[in-house]
């Protein structure tokens, strides 16, 4: 059986998934507009050029479908939201099964503004969220988070603002870029996540994690994380939400846990997410389970065991040195590097991550030099 991983060319998240799939017996291919990090992994048997969604969704979908038909792939995973939306909308035209449930559910999951009230109806806590109007900014005051409602429409990032006027200005930038801006109350708390693969009869693999450090701060991604025991109440709420969305396949649901102890849902990712290596290390092989669900193969239910560790080394190091205890956290960062799971680095492929960091540094240097001119 063959899996094709589609990404934008520089995405780091598919690499851990490709390794997990190959270790489970899948033949893995990579497709991207340019040779990708994933294509350089020894877990990948072939690379195929495709058209980016920026060049037209119809052309993108046709290029992916052609690769699948020509090379006989059974399952396709997409690494970015615009690609997922394009393939989902045209699923009736595809020669391969889409790894998701209903298209309406996919689009609702991507719309952070519309998802919040649905999650609340399912018993999950959510921050106060709504369209970024002057009235909402005045009501929320500061600090406030402003972000696009959907990454599939606008790729601008979430940003935090102490000044509501600055937040309103950023909202106008999002709208000028074609997106719908939403504002959300800033919640201070621990970043936790429940990741799961949903089958036809419910969750088949699940893991829960806590971010010990995030970067950038205060609204960054997991730089250092650990799996924890699965909260049964949180699991029930997540499963209710996924059923409400008619969800099928992978979902990474992120929460903030404030001092009052009630998690607040802040995001739902239906793609191969950044710290998926942690769930895999903990024993919840989401990529293999998702591929099996999509292909109609049996799946053995698995729960991620507590105590597994994950590290995004460069971000962990920056977060450690910026913390209140830079020496202690810096020492911990170095101590766990050799044994933690990573998105890129692996003892079996020790040069892949350094090569990526060198290329990334080179790109940033060239941008700075061209800007200085």
What is the predicted pLDDT for the residue at 359? 75
> pLDDT of 158-214, one tens digit each?
999 998 889 999 999 999 999 999 999 999 999 999 999 999 999 999 999 999 999
Beta strands in 284-325 (DSSP E): 302-303, 309-311
What is the predicted pLDDT for the residue at 296? 96
Tell me the domains of the chain and their CATH numbers: 2-99 (3.40.50.20), 128-185 (3.30.1490)
CA 164 from chain centre, in angstroms, equals: 28
> pLDDT of 311-325, one tens digit each?
999 999 999 999 999
Q: Output 75 or 155, whichever has higher pLDDT.
A: 75
What is the predicted pLDDT for the residue at 371? 66
pLDDT over threshold 70, residue 372: no
> pLDDT of 219-233, one tens digit each?
899 999 999 999 999
Which structure tokens are listed for 329? 């956290």
Cβ count near 85 (within 10 Å): 22
What is the predicted pLDDT for the residue at 355? 79
pLDDT over threshold 90, residue 350: no
Q: What is the pTM of this model?
A: 0.93
Average pLDDT rounded to a whole number, residues 86-107: 95
pLDDT over threshold 80, residue 291: yes
What three-state secondary structure class fits 192? Answer: strand
Contact present, 160 and 145 (Cβ < 8 Å): yes
pLDDT over threshold 80, residue 366: no
What is the predicted pLDDT for the residue at 323? 94
On average, the pLDDT of the chain sits at 94
> pLDDT of 323-338, one tens digit each?
999 999 999 999 999 9
Q: From edge to edge, which strands make up the β-sheet containing 2-6?
A: 44-49, 27-32, 2-6, 75-78
What is the predicted pLDDT for the residue at 100? 96
């Amino acid at each position: 059986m063959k899996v094709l991983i589609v990404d934008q060319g520089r995405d780091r998240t598919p690499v851990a998934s490709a390794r997990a799939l190959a270790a489970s017996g899948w033949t893995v291919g990579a497709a991207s507009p340019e040779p990708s990090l994933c294509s350089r992994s020894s877990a990948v048997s072939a690379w195929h050029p495709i058209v980016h969604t920026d060049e037209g969704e119809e052309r993108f979908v046709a290029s992916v479908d052609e690769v699948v038909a020509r090379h006989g792939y059974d399952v396709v995973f997409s690494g970015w939201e615009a690609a997922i939306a394009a393939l989902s909308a045209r699923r009736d035209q595809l020669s391969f099964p889409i790894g998701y449930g209903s298209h309406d559910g996919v689009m609702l999951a991507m719309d952070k503004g519309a998802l919040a009230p649905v999650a609340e109806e399912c018993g999950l806590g959510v921050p106060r969220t709504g369209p970024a109007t002057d009235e909402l900014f005045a009501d929320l005051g500061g600090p406030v988070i402003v972000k696009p409602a959907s990454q599939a429409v606008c790729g601008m990032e979430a940003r935090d603002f102490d000044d509501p006027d600055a937040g309103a200005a950023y909202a106008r930038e999002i709208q000028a870029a074609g997106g719908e801006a939403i504002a959300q109350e800033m919640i201070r708390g621990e970043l936790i996540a429940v990741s799961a693969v949903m089958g036809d009869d419910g969750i088949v693999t699940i893991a829960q994690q806590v971010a010990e450090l995030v970067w950038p701060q205060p609204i960054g991604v997991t730089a250092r994380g650990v799996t924890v025991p699965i909260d049964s109440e949180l699991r029930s709420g997540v499963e209710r939400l996924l059923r409400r969305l008619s969800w099928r396949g992978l979902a990474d649901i992120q929460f903030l846990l404030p001092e009052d102890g009630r998690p607040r849902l802040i995001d739902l990712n239906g793609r191969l997410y950044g710290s998926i290596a942690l769930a895999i290390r903990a024993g919840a092989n989401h990529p293999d389970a998702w591929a099996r669900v999509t292909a109609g193969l049996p799946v053995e239910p698995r729960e991620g065991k507590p105590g597994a560790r994950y590290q995004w080394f460069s971000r962990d190091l920056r977060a450690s040195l910026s913390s209140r205890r830079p020496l202690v956290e810096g020492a911990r960062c170095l101590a766990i590097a050799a044994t933690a799971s990573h998105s890129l680095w692996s003892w079996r492929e020790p040069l892949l991550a350094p090569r990526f960091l060198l290329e990334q540094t080179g790109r940033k240097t060239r941008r700075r030099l061209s800007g200085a001119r």
